[in-house]
Amino acid sequence: MARDVNEVLEHAIRGGLETKPAERRIFLTTIAERLHLALTINQVRSNVIYSEVERALKAKPNIQMFINGQLAYSDYNEYVKLAMINNIPYTVVSATTDTPFGLVIANQNMPVETNHPYIEDDIHKQDIERY
């Protein structure tokens, strides 16, 4: 019985157990199995609006966009506009640890079958090498 009380107290103080906390820190509070697409910080900062993002926002059901809060609003405002046009919820996440990702599009609550959720251009390669 004492163990159950301690568990209840721990849960009340610290919250419930989190699944895959390391993945959640890297992928802006979501996990890899839910990813449709992930852009690095400098991909988001670039002047290019990736068409893959627009296609994912239009075609994928039950998705949400997560944005790294370390970015300036001017870096990601075009992606927010795309999300709003397509009625996709988005969340600006205060990253608690270092992550190479600036924007993540993920299913809200189900795993997806995406073989490779990255756009591997030169910017991506540089960001991942630095990380």
Write down the pLDDT at residue 17. Answer: 62
Amino acid found at 128: I
Instruction: Collect all residues with Cβ–Cβ distance below 8 Å to 40 and sequence separation of at least 6.
Output: 100, 101, 102, 123, 124, 127, 128
Q: Which two tokens stand for residue 64?
A: 């949400």
In this predicted structure, the answer to whether residue 1 has a pLDDT above a threshold of 60 is no
Assigned CATH topology for domain 21-130: 60s Ribosomal Protein L30; Chain: A; (3.30.1330)
pLDDT score recorded for residue 3:
62
- Show Cβ contacts of residue 44 under 8 Å, excluding neighbours closer than 6 positions: 67, 68, 71, 75, 76, 79, 102, 103
Give me the count of residues in the chain: 131
pLDDT of residue 84: 96
Q: Round the average pLDDT of the chain to a whole number and report it.
A: 87
Q: For residues 35-45, give the mean pLDDT.
A: 95
Flag whether pLDDT at 96 surpasses 70.
yes
Lowest mean pLDDT among 12-16, 62-66, 86-90: 12-16
- Which pLDDT value is given to residue 89? 96
- Give the model's pLDDT for residue 103: 96
Burial of 126 (0-12, 13-18, 19+ CB in 10 A): middle
What residue segments make up the domains of the chain, in order of their start? 21-130
